[in-house]
Amino acid sequence: MEILIVRHGQSQADLEDRYEGRADFSLTELGCEQAQKLAKWVLENYRPDIILSSPLKRAAQTAEYIGKETNVKIIFDDELMEWDNGLLAGLLRSEAAEKYPLPKEGRKPYSEFAGTESYINFRARAETFWAKFLDTYGTDENIRRACIVSHGKMINMLFRAFMKLPIDTDITLKTGDTGVHLWVVDGNKREIVFSNSQAHLL
């Protein structure tokens, strides 16, 4: 099965340099344009059989553009939401640095500093989604290609789950606005076809 992993378009928080996470900002005008271009590109090149999306506005709006263009129903899944950043959500980064400065030793994997989701629990959430996704759709002969719309940090966690990386890995995956990754799962085989493509924006 082919899996398109898509990050949402530009959001209002991006413009204002705010921590986003669970703060539910909408797409900007540019973000909507990015999502429209993405949707047409997906239709022309990688039309999915199913779309799953985070219900947060910026991802949901991006998924809705794809769903409308491809005429594919969207399934919203809370497990695809961005990292729960607790008290940081919606704060200006400068404001957050003043109110909730990180400890000198940094954030530990188990830390719930400032009411946030620990990285251990975040990874567990990604693993839970991934396992359920494969069990539900991985053997369905009617689904040859899926599209998952989510957020930068969650996509990074899904990548670690996909590649079966250890929880303490320093390997990260960057994704730009409406960046697209294409992964293939064939039994135990894992293949990355391309990463963070923004060809639709050129």
Residues 6+ apart with CB under 8 A from 8: 27, 31, 35, 54, 58, 59, 61, 62, 149, 150, 151, 177, 178
Domain map (residue ranges) of the chain:
2-11+28-83+117-201
pLDDT tens track for 57-104: 999 999 999 999 999 999 999 999 999 999 999 999 999 999 999 888
Is 191 catalytic? The answer is no
Active site residue 82: yes
Per-residue pLDDT band for 5 (boundaries 50, 70, 90) equals: very high
What's the predicted TM-score (pTM) here? Answer: 0.96
2, 8, 151, 200: the catalytic one is 8
pLDDT value for 75: 98
Nearest to 196 by CA among 182, 181, 177: 181
Cβ-based burial of 164 (10 A; exposed 0-12, middle 13-18, buried ≥19): exposed
Q: What is the pLDDT of residue 67?
A: 98
Secondary structure letter of residue 18 according to DSSP: B
How do residues 139-155 score in pLDDT, each as one tens digit? 888 999 999 999 999 99
Tell me the CATH number for domain 2-11+28-83+117-201. 3.40.50.1240
Q: Which residue in the list 2, 20, 69, 82 is annotated as catalytic?
A: 82
